[in-house]
Amino acid sequence: MMFRPCHRSIAAAAVVLVMSHPAHAQRTVNLPDIPPEPTTLTIAPAIVVDALRASYTTTEIAQHVDVTLRLRGVQRTESYTLRTSPGAFELDLGKLLIWSQGDQLLAVHTANTKDVLQLPVEGGVLATLQKLAPPVPAPTLELALGTDAAFARPTAYTPGVAWKSAEIDQSGQSPALRVRGASDEAVVEMVTDAEGSRLKSMTVRIDRDELDLRLTLTPATVERGPSYGVDISGRRVVTRLEDLVPRSDELRAGDELPDLALRFAITPDESEPIAPLRGPAVLVFFRVLTPGVQSALAAAAELSASAAEGQRPSVIAVSVQPRETPATPAILADLRTTLAPAGLAWTPSPATTIDRFARGTMAVAVAVGADNRIRGVVIIDDRHADEVKADLATLMK
């Protein structure tokens, strides 16, 4: 509909133009009564973009985002919750929680309570986030933490957008600002509230890829409280997303100990597989025999000796050597001497043993109860032997 100037409509447009400026981004605009015609007034799109950026860079905002993506006729829906504040963010993707903390990005998986992914911020928060996770269409994250004043990359799928027009739309129940833009490949439209302080929706159309994207944003309440992220005390730090996502064969406390197909501590040609182990037991898996491993074995042996008769856990040291070499028999023979009186087993498969308890670790101690269920796992690191012993003692009670 063409804009027909009249004294009252020009005055109304002037009010919105002034109140949408960043200096007034947080104020509520009470639009005066306007005749039914016209219902749409044009303004400069830069004013809306500036108001949005001023709001998202100065205020803590939490919004739930419903995402609908149609690609070549196939539709899928996802959702996420994003909380931003000056210089920080928390992105809740359901199973994956990502947040910023100082000069670090951290992430945890809901099904993995042992690990935390941690990356130093390099080249900016948004650039580091792109290295960490697949692209998430999050325009408000770009508004809050991006450095492009023109908001030319509202999503990872739409670089090079130029905002060409903006309208004050009063056709709905409440006034809104509607901004349209385009790049060489995409057409983008976003809708904000009347003040330009909150993004309410965004649609993207890319004809070449037959892609339609729609984001619908609504206010969100975050139940975790004012602090970002979760407590990561005691978690192992990993640097790859694939190390954070639990595998279906991961073993956890409460699971029954399966047959790990362990072998006697000599080459397979000269031995038979060990019968499936039964609890109570302490299994110490290690890739390299370190002082920490020896301390853990000594602590486990001491706990076993002090246990009541009939309740003493077996202590088994399991050498993890993925590849057998001509030196393997000699290495294992030395280990048997070093680790006596603990029993010694060998596995050529970290994927079916140590990595099922704590993927990527160098050594772990696994406590197994008399019911043959896993009581817990202690990661063996450079802590003092007394600390490892205390953890094992807690698990074996």
User: For position 91, what pLDDT does the model report?
Assistant: 95
User: Domains in the chain, start-ordered, CATH in brackets?
Assistant: 46-219 (2.50.20.10), 247-396 (3.40.30.10)
For residues 178 and 156, the answer to whether their CB atoms sit within 8 Å is no
User: For position 360, what pLDDT does the model report?
Assistant: 76
User: For position 340, what pLDDT does the model report?
Assistant: 61
Q: For residues 163 and 152, what is the distance between their CA atoms, to the nearest angstrom?
A: 8
User: For position 304, what pLDDT does the model report?
Assistant: 85
Which amino acid is located at 232 in the chain?
I
User: For position 72, what pLDDT does the model report?
Assistant: 80
Helix, strand, coil percentages (3-state) for the chain, rounded to 5, are: 25, 35, 40
pTM score: 0.57
CA distance to 108, 112, 118, 241, 250, per residue, from 115 (Å): 7, 6, 10, 11, 13
Q: For residues 250 and 241, what is the distance between their CA atoms, to the nearest angstrom?
A: 16
Q: For residues 118 and 221, what is the distance between their CA atoms, to the nearest angstrom?
A: 26
pLDDT digits (tens, 9 = 90+) for 266-307: 444 454 567 777 888 899 998 888 888 888 888 888 888 888
SS3 129: helix
Contacts 24+ apart (CB under 8 A), 99-105: 99/228, 99/229, 100/125, 100/228, 101/228, 101/229, 105/129, 105/132
- pLDDT (tens, 9 = 90+) of the chain, 397 residues, equals 333 333 333 223 333 333 334 444 444 444 445 455 555 689 999 999 999 999 999 999 999 999 999 888 888 888 999 999 998 999 999 889 999 998 999 999 887 888 899 999 988 888 888 877 777 899 999 999 988 899 999 998 899 999 999 999 887 778 899 999 999 999 999 999 999 999 999 999 999 888 899 999 999 987 776 789 999 998 988 887 777 876 666 788 888 988 888 876 544 445 456 777 788 889 999 888 888 888 888 888 888 888 877 788 888 888 887 655 555 666 666 676 666 656 788 788 888 888 888 877 888 999 998 899 998 888 887 666 677 778 878 877 7
User: For position 384, what pLDDT does the model report?
Assistant: 64
User: For position 183, what pLDDT does the model report?
Assistant: 95
